[in-house]
Amino acid sequence: MFGRFNREINSILQRDPAAKSRLEIIFCYAGFHAVIYYRISHWLWQRGLRFWPRWISQFGRFITGVEIHPGATIGENFFIDHGMGVVIGETATIGNNVTIYHGVTLGGVSDKAGIRHPQIGDNVIIGSGAQLLGAIEVGHGARIGSNAVVVKDVPPNATMVGVPARNVAKSTKPEEQFAAYGVSGDDVPDVVMKNFDEMEKTIRDLTKRLAELEGGDEAAKKWEGN
């Protein structure tokens, strides 16, 4: 277990330029502390215990602000940057080298037994405030932008933004560089303004068509210059 923690500390140093030393990560990173609580509680959960893993999980939540159910399955080098407000459900699965930021929820939307939470692949980045809901599959190398709401499967190497989230990736190839918060500035379109522009165009087209039907060509010409 100590070897795993050592590898996770090294991975944090690689991904977070604000981390200046291993000692700083060990004593000051709430996200790292939350993972330690999870590893202990998950080890007990796998051995059939239920109360004590849950108690450790809730104690870790009180200390770090991060709630990870001990039944979740999390791979190597998991990094919660900044911590606070993160919720990971019981049947969630997270692959290797995954980074998530504060305010992320991997939540369930079903009350039935079985897999209810997101299944996250390797090398995924999930930006702050993102909500991934239900038993969805998130492919390897995907990036989820901040405040995105994801309710459907995500293909590998996708870049998801918006509500509901849509793929705006320009390429299906894996990203070569780490992207903080899931997306770089060049990748994020102004989704809201684009939607407003499309709505405005539709309204203008409909208004012109209505003018044509009610007033003929002269009325229609009135709207062409507007």
Per-residue pLDDT of the chain (226 residues; tens, 9 = 90+): 678 888 999 999 999 999 999 999 999 999 999 999 999 999 999 999 999 999 999 999 999 999 999 999 999 999 999 989 999 999 999 999 999 999 999 999 988 889 999 999 999 999 999 999 999 999 999 999 999 999 999 999 999 998 899 998 877 778 767 777 777 655 555 656 667 778 888 898 888 888 777 766 555 555 555 5
CB 168 within 8 A of CB 144: no
Tell how far CA 185 is from the center of its chain: 17
**Which one-letter amino acid corresponds to residue 73?**
T
Q: Are strands 66-68 and 79-81 parallel, antiparallel or unpaired?
A: unpaired
Which is catalytic among the residues 33, 42, 82, 102?
Answer: 102
Domain 2-188 coded CATH 2.60.40.60: no
Q: Where are the domains of the chain?
A: 2-188, 190-226
CB 79 within 8 A of CB 31: yes
* 102: annotated active-site residue: yes
What pLDDT score does 64 carry?
96
What pLDDT score does 222 carry?
57
Quick one: DSSP state of residue 89? -
What pLDDT score does 191 carry?
59
What pLDDT score does 174 carry?
82
Backbone angles phi, psi at 111, to 5 degrees: -100, 10
